[in-house]
Amino acid sequence: MKSAKLSFFIASALFSAVSVPAQASSVKTVTSQASYSNTVSNIAQNLSINDVNIGLTKEDLIKAKNFNLSNQEYAKYKYIMEYTPRGKWTPDIDPVIALGNSAKTEEERTKYAKLAYKQRTERERLETAFAITMIKVEKQNDPNSPRWMNWEQKKEFALKDTIVMDDTGNANTELVNIYVDPSVCVSDSQCLVDMGRTLQAKQPHTQLKYHFYNATDASTKQFKYSLSSKHPNKLAGVSFVDNGSKQPARSLPYMTVSSNGKTQTISLR
């Protein structure tokens, strides 16, 4: 009797062990089928690209319209991102650029280049308009900020409350330190103009030093060439310090002006 009961419990345990995974597998299969059904029901159009069926959802059709692409072109973009190395190389690339990079003919490349140019210029127009409005709002809220001053006004602001001339009429030594990332500055025409002004404003009693952050040999060489080509007679006594990649004290570029024991800091952005 005991042997029969023991056999019954063992059989029950074995049945449970087998049936649980089977049940879990069944649930997983049902879930997968439901997910597939939802995906299929959301498909608005099916198109064939290189003998591969590409389904476009309603959202895809809206995106195609907003990128000025046909449904066929957007399906081709989805094919490119799913089935070619482009999807691995640049997974965040936009549809127009992806199509242009994958074009087979010059006519196709030209078409997408023109479309990309149109979209880029429109984006820049909108971003510039917003930036101008942002500056307008900032000026209204902080009209006396050094941010709106030209170079001479900034320097005057930095030197206010300092005595440049001592009692004998001799100029005190003026220490000017410029902190800049040359790798960024050499590709920013306004930054190079501002750096040229710092050098142009140097007086005989000024000790001028440029502090570099994140500099490379190429950017350092280009930065120095930009200064020397426009103001060759001002480089005497100017020094350059490479601070490596350590975090600067403030947002670059900025300068400090010290005179008569007082120091002022000015943003050059």
Peptide bond just before 253 cis, omega within 30 deg: yes
Placement of tokens 């094919």 in the chain? 79
Write down the pLDDT at residue 254.
87
Mean of pLDDT over the chain? 79
Listed range (107-116, 127-136, 139-148, 157-166) with the worst mean pLDDT: 157-166
pLDDT digits (tens, 9 = 90+) for 166-205: 444 444 577 889 999 999 998 888 888 888 888 877 777 7
pLDDT digits (tens, 9 = 90+) for 52-98: 999 999 999 999 999 999 999 999 999 999 999 999 999 999 999 99
CATH level 3 topology of 153-267: Glutaredoxin (3.40.30)
Confidence of residue 157 (pLDDT cuts 50, 70, 90): low
Q: Please, what's the b/e burial string for 229-263 (b: 16 or more CB within 10 A of its CB; e: otherwise)?
A: eebeebeeebebeeeeeeeeeeebbbbbbbbeeee
Share of the chain above pLDDT 90, in %: 40
Q: 208 has which bridge partners?
A: 176
Q: Please, what's the b/e burial string for 174-200 (b: 16 or more CB within 10 A of its CB; e: otherwise)?
A: bebbbbbbbbebbeeeebbebbbbbbe
Write down the pLDDT at residue 134.
86
Q: What are phi and psi of 110, to 5 degrees?
A: -65, -40
Q: Is the pTM of this model over 0.85?
A: no
Start-end ranges of CATH 3.40.30.10 in the chain?
Answer: 153-267
Q: 264 has which bridge partners?
A: 257
